[in-house]
Amino acid sequence: MMNLNVDLFYLINNNMANPVFDAIMPVLSNFGGFVTLLAICIAAILILKYLKKDEYLKIAKLCLCALLLAGIIAACLKLTFHSPRPFTVLEHVRQLTVPSEPNSFPSGHTASTLSIITVLVWKLRENKAVVALLVIFAVLIGFSRIYCGVHYPFDVAVGAIVGVVSGVVVLKFLD
């Protein structure tokens, strides 16, 4: 399993390298961070409350709860496993962004993004175009974390699971 994880990492981080991705992926990657998404959720809640858009306000609050749950779970897993980042243990890693903390497993960006995307996809499921764009965004966040050299594919996969589970739990118990 570890060789497959490393082989997939190098496939994305080295073999798919190109100037367009080098410019886009670090910027995109930052949009999936907990702090960025927290700020977006809080801003959405404040704006929607001011505009008295109660239906969307509820969705924004669910997104915030899912994000917080995913953040707690991801942080606990990072503190439990202490998995080093790829660029600290592998050779020839193209590191395009600087992580905020040293532990790799799971991908917090992916968990954060998928927690919110799960809520949004469920609540906006009637709009197929929006759902498609949300799913593409989620996949790109996970991909960007590998491309930027800060996560292994397994980190991203587990981060996605944490995010989806967090979103589902919030929808089941708070919606």
Residue whose C-alpha is closest to residue 40's, from 129, 115, 106: 115
Bond preceding residue 106 cis, omega within 30 of 0: yes
Give me the pLDDT at residue 100, please: 84
Domain residue spans of the chain: 2-174
Question: Tokens 């670090």 — which residue?
Answer: 26
CATH class (in words) of the domain with range 2-174: mainly alpha
Mean pLDDT of 73-94: 96
Give me the pLDDT at residue 2, please: 60
What pLDDT digit, counting tens, does each position of 1-56 carry? 569 999 999 999 999 999 999 999 999 999 999 999 999 999 999 999 999 999 99
Mean pLDDT of 134-150: 97
Q: What percent of the chain has pLDDT over 90?
A: 97
3-state secondary structure the chain: CHHHHHHHHHHHHHHCCCHHHHHHHHHHHHCCCHHHHHHHHHHHHHHHHHCCCHHHHHHHHHHHHHHHHHHHHHHHHHHHHCCECHHHHCCCCCCCCCCCCCECCCCHHHHHHHHHHHHHHHHCCCCHHHHHHHHHHHHHHHHHHHHCCCCCHHHHHHHHHHHHHHHHHHHHHHC
Give me the pLDDT at residue 1, please: 53
CA distance 86 to 93: 7
